[in-house]
Amino acid sequence: MSFTLPELPYSYDALNPFMSRETLEYHHDKHHQAYVTNGNNLLKGTEFEGKTLEEIVKGSYGKNAGLFNNAGQHFNHIHFWKWMKPNGGGAIPGELEKKIVEDLGSVEKMKEDFIQAGVTQFGSGWNWLAVKDGKIVVMKTPNGENPLVHGATPILGCDVWEHSYYIDYRNRRPDYLKAFVDSLVNWEYVAELYSKAV
Binding-site residues, in ranges, read: 27, 77, 159, 163
Q: How many CB atoms lie within 10 A of CB 109?
A: 13
Name the phi and psi angles at 57, rounded to 5: -60, -50
Give the neighbor-by-neighbor strand order of the sheet with 153-159: 135-142, 125-132, 153-159
- Judge contact between 107 and 91, C-beta under 8 A: no
DSSP state of 10: S
Per-residue burial over 37-68, b if 16 or more Cβ lie within 10 Å, else e, is ebbbebbeeeebeebebeebbbbbbeebeebb
Which residues line the annotated binding site for Mn(2+)?
Answer: 27, 77, 159, 163
Q: Is the dihedral of CA 67, 69, 70, 75 positive or negative?
A: positive
